[in-house]
Amino acid sequence: MGVPVRGCGNRLQSHTDGLTVWITKVRVKKNSFKRRRRKNLRVEAVLTSALVKAEMLLRRKQQQRYQRWQRLKTELFKANCNMCNGIAVGDRSTEWDEKICEDINSLHSFMCLVNEVKSPLKR
């Protein structure tokens, strides 16, 4: 799991957010060193190496997060299907008793009577 890191503006960032910000800063610094007239190849090499390693780490973390999300979705889907199957099986096994049928029929007849009553439309 990502550990929250304090970012600028006292805003909490996840570890991948902090890594993304760091990668952006290193890219800017590397480009500024490339544009200089007096180039320092050692600094460029160190920045390139650090950048490649950080990008690989970020990609690996993103893939792990994606895989965890896929596992979680499948587990939730399985649990949801099991609940739906349990409800469907439970519906088939229960029989309607006469009291419930009478109540439903009386509700149905009441609703039919309500539908027949039409109040005048006032505009």
Q: What one-character-per-residue DSSP string does the chain give? A: -PPPEE-GGG-EE-HHHHHHHHHHHHHHHHHHHHHSSS--HHHHHHHHHHHHHHHHHHHHHHHHHHHHHHHHHHHHHHHHHHHHHHHHHHHHHPPPPHHHHHHHHHHHHHHHHHHH--PPP--
**pLDDT tens-digit readout, 46-95:** 999 999 999 999 999 999 999 999 998 888 888 777 776 666 555 554 56
Question: Does pTM top 0.75 for this prediction?
Answer: no
Q: pLDDT-based confidence at 11, cuts 50/70/90? A: low
